[in-house]
Structure 1
């Protein structure tokens, strides 16, 4: 079974003027392209990745698809389009013609309107995503868990994955409210969860602080609906690729490695390899 990193990014700073990351985040304030990641994948024994958007620009999706066309290790792309635009249905259909376009992601975590995702104006675009076999990445924070639950319940045929487990407040040691919201989501069979991004949320705490949150993900979503991802290069703010992979290999029971580190990503995103 191939080993898949279900969440990584590439970017060029020249394309991101005025966008995140700021210069003070020195570890990630530079270009990151396939040649930077490939040695890390080879060293860790990773066979392929899912490349995920980082900007609310269609040009970013075009850039990612162009990279995917040149590099075989990029097995899928999660792009962006304005899901409430008047021509959203047409845009979704057009993007679906790219074989490696596997999903779409609105950047919900940065929206001041936490009810944006509950607006029925999004429904035509979501119906188009379902029709064209595209998945939905939910980039959210804990206060948005109830809204995503409402959205996921309304669109039960849409495959949804919670990026970075909704970024729990690990640095503050908060777990109960997050766990409650995640438990409600886990009861919906169309919702999956990424074991990714947690190290960054740990702040100044030791990497071991991640374990109870990772174990909660595995407990709630089970070994069949948990996907491992690196969140590289954002991961560089808190650790390195190999160490994060090793840490997760220790947390996930060995009998579930095939599923969590590969099979589930292939199943969820309908990857071809």
Structure 2
């Protein structure tokens, strides 16, 4: 089985400004309990206890994204019995995009790129990341990534789904992985209904796959019952051949242990879909 979305960090090897900021509350809560090294051995122990045998590392806001990518490559090289692909950060609007991608693609583990479009309404209003959708260079870069055989990890909020779908529809040869089920941050009945309607704009695109990951970031005291509508809608809209499991550890470790999170998702997914959601979709997408 594959965990298609997790992070690692060695605070002596790579600097993460967002992670080490003191007294700063983030959209997912207080990061202070994870302001420490989170290394492959700890992650692997937690994941392998649930039967996970490989994973996909997702970039996580390093000050120097290339340094992070090289460090992740070194971790993968040192643990050949744990297959690990990685998704790196790249500004798709950068004037030297081709040069950056050339550098990244010298690393054998690099399979995709991520540039976050939306995290949460409050943070987005401050950062202005949503403006990417209006930049024609973003679409150009998205197509270049696909032409190079790279995928794109898409993180956004439901309010941006319709607009984003019109952009990525113009890059049909770039496989897109929707992170965190599209971040349904409003867990009221009306909020989930709006999320499900918005999600349809992305699920209608055949080159978009959805990750069941990060479901605890907006609901810290989640239960199997509270997550059920999200899992059911994702499976219903995308079908099992376009859904993959991700832990989002160690961020979701703030509110759950790995076993509880994994077993909850497994209980919500029909058993005849296990192989796709926990293995074959991620394996085909990233490996």
TM-score (norm 1): 0.91
Q: Distance in 1 between matches of 2:74 and 2:163?
A: 33
* 1:132 CA displacement: 1.6
* Equivalent in the alignment of 2:174: 158
* Equivalent in the alignment of 2:41: 35
Q: Distance in 2 between matches of 1:65 and 1:144?
A: 33
Q: Matches of residues 37-116 of structure 1 in structure 2 within 5 Å?
A: 37-55=43-61, 57-58=64-65, 59-72=67-80, 73-109=82-118, 110=124, 111-116=127-132
Q: Matches of residues 188-203 of structure 1 in structure 2 within 5 Å?
A: 188-203=205-220
Cα displacement string for residues 209-229 of structure 1 (whole angstroms, at most 9, x for unaligned residues) = 111111110000010000100
* 1:30 CA displacement: 1.1
Does 211-220 or 73-82 show the bigger shift? 73-82
Cα displacement string for residues 212-264 of structure 1 (whole angstroms, at most 9, x for unaligned residues) = 11111000001000010000111112211111111111111000100000100
Q: Distance in 1 between matches of 2:54 and 2:16?
A: 29
- State the SS of the aligned residue for 1:184: helix
Does 97-106 or 24-33 show the bigger shift? 24-33
Q: Distance in 2 between matches of 1:9 and 1:113?
A: 21
* 1:169 CA displacement: 2.0
Distance of aligned partners of 1:95 and 1:205 in 2 relative to their CA distance in 1, 3 Å threshold: closer
* Equivalent in the alignment of 2:200: 183
Match of 1:139 among 155, 158, 167: 155
Q: Distance in 1 between matches of 2:108 and 2:11?
A: 27
* 1:17 CA displacement: 5.5
* Equivalent in the alignment of 1:210: 227
Structure 1 regions of 5+ residues with no counterpart? none
* 1:185 CA displacement: 0.8
* Equivalent in the alignment of 2:280: 263
Q: Distance in 2 between matches of 1:222 and 1:7?
A: 19
* 1:89 CA displacement: 1.5
- Mapped contact 2:224–2:268 kept (Cα < 8 A): no
Q: Distance in 1 between matches of 2:283 and 2:16?
A: 34
- State the SS of the aligned residue for 2:177: strand
* Equivalent in the alignment of 2:121: none
Q: Distance in 1 between matches of 2:16 and 2:233?
A: 38
- Mapped contact 2:57–2:85 kept (Cα < 8 A): yes
* 1:207 CA displacement: 4.3
- Mapped contact 1:102–1:135 kept (Cα < 8 A): yes
Q: Distance in 1 between matches of 2:217 and 2:46?
A: 19
Q: Distance in 2 between matches of 1:181 and 1:122?
A: 22
- Mapped contact 1:140–1:166 kept (Cα < 8 A): yes
- Mapped contact 2:157–2:185 kept (Cα < 8 A): no
Q: Distance in 1 between matches of 2:131 and 2:194?
A: 19
Distance of aligned partners of 1:144 and 1:259 in 2 relative to their CA distance in 1, 3 Å threshold: same
- State the SS of the aligned residue for 1:168: coil
* 1:107 CA displacement: 2.2
- Mapped contact 2:19–2:31 kept (Cα < 8 A): no
